Each structure stands twice: as C-alpha cells, then as structure tokens.
Chain A
Amino acid sequence: GENVEQHPSTLSVQEGDSAVIKCTYSDSASNYFPWYKQELGKRPQLIIDIRSNVGEKKDQRIAVTLNKTAKHFSLHITETQPEDSAVYFCAASTGMYSGGGADGLTFGKGTHLIIQP
C-alpha cells in the first residue's frame, strides 16, 4: 500500500518568514495530494490540494508543488502569521482524480508549525 513520509515533524519560523514542509510518497499511481491544517482540538481542514497533472498550485500565501518523477510534494507558506501556527498534514490518494475511487487518503504523520513573534 501507499506510504507517505513527512518532514520535519516540528518547524519553528519567525513571523513573516517562509515555511516549507515536504512529503514523499511511495505509490506511483497516486494522483491526488491534499494538505490539511489542524488546530488543537479541531478537525483537519483542507487548505489546498494538487492533482497529478499539475506541477504547482497557489492560493494567496500558500502554494503546493509536485514532482511526480521524484514522488515528492511540498507545502510553501509565505509571510507567515501567528494564525498559521497549527499541525499540517500531507496526504496522497490513488482514487481521487476525476472524482473516481473510494480508497481514501494515506496521511503523513504531521508537522507542528510554530510561528515565533
């Protein structure tokens, strides 16, 4: 089955600096890569996703890049703010493209992002 590795487990950055979280996956059939933000005691919230036919996607201060050859994808947060402090999870799936499939997501173990004032 799919295996997703996520690094680092903890990341501390100064407010205003950029943060990068990296994930690798093992199954070359994976075609959908979402990122979730989870605040303490809350549900994971989908913040951005990318499909395998796209190399990069941006949404305001966040962006995700995908390298299918190397089987890795990354989350980039620019101009970090205190409200960006949370745990971030990457995930991969073989079944999301074009709405098909039901096999769920395989998650990385999470990155605790700390924004230092």
Chain B
Amino acid sequence: DAGITQSPRHKVTETGTPVTLRCHQTENHRYMYWYRQDPGHGLRLIHYSYGVKDTDKGEVSDGYSVSRSKTEDFLLTLESATSSQTSVYFCAIKGTGVYFGPGTRLTVL
C-alpha cells in the first residue's frame, strides 16, 4: 500500500464549513497528488506537490487549496465546503508508478 494513510476516512459536514483532509506517507516520496472520484467522471486531479512548499493546480482546483510543510504530509483544504464537493478523495504518491491511499469519503450537506 506504499505507506499511505488518509484521515479522516469518512466525514460529513455542512455547506460553508472549512474542511481539511490529510495525507501521510512514510516512504519519503517527493511527488504527491490529490484526486477526486465521482460517478461518471473517473478520477480527476485537484492539486499536486513536487516537494516541500512546492505545489501546483490540477484540472479541478477551484475551491481547494493545499499545503505541504513536511515531505510526509500533504493537506487538502476546502475553505468553504459546497455540496458539489461531495466526493471520494484519494491521495497518491509517485514511486515506480502512481499509488493511491485508501480514500476519504466526504459528504457536504
């Protein structure tokens, strides 16, 4: 499982509240990614990081921000959650291939 954990694994929140998802890796990988998965859309890249404090936007970055202050942690923040951000969020790392964490199921009511 490439040493990737995500927390929380499930979260229910209300529209307008801030939410932070955490991805933690234990194998010192440089590249980390956040994807969201929705029915009919597959997996779409939100943001990625290529090192500590180095991040960039992906395909669906509106409404999301990220931070990476340590190699092992990559945080995804929804500043003001909306119902359209109800999704399953996967963190991933790049090693010899791209490997995914277990996912976080987020419901915004």
Interface on A for B, CB 8 Å cutoff? 1, 34, 42-46, 49, 89, 91, 96, 102-110
Contact = CB atoms under 8 A, between A and B. Distances in A.
B99 interface: yes
Contacts of A1: 59
B90 A44 contact: yes
Interface of B: 30-31, 33, 35, 40-45, 48-50, 56, 58-59, 90, 94, 97-103
A107 B102 contact: no
B100 A104 contact: no
B42 A110 contact: yes
Contacts of B103: 43
Given A107-B44, A109-B41, A110-B42, 14 more contacts: A42-B102, A43-B101, A46-B98, A89-B43, A96-B97, A96-B98, A102-B50, A102-B56, A102-B94, A103-B48, A104-B58, A105-B45, A109-B40, A109-B42
Given A34-B98, A43-B103, A103-B48, A89 B42 contact: yes
B34 to A, nearest CB: 9
Among A45, A46, A102, find the residue whose CB has the most chain B CB atoms closer than 10 A. Answer: A102
Contacts of B101: 43
Task: Label chain B's interface by main secondary structure.
Answer: strand
Given A1-B59, A44-B90, A102-B50, A108 B100 contact: no
Task: Label chain A's interface by main secondary structure.
Answer: loop
A80 B46 CA distance: 34
A96 B31 CA distance: 11
Nearest to B44: A107
Contacts of B30: 102
Among A44, A89, A108, A110, find the residue whose CB has the most chain B CB atoms closer than 10 A. Answer: A44
23 contacts: A43-B100, A43-B103, A44-B43, A45-B100, A46-B98, A49-B97, A89-B42, A89-B43, A91-B43, A91-B98, A96-B98, A102-B30, A102-B94, A103-B48, A104-B48, A104-B58, A104-B98, A105-B43, A105-B98, A106-B59, A107-B42, A109-B42, A110-B42
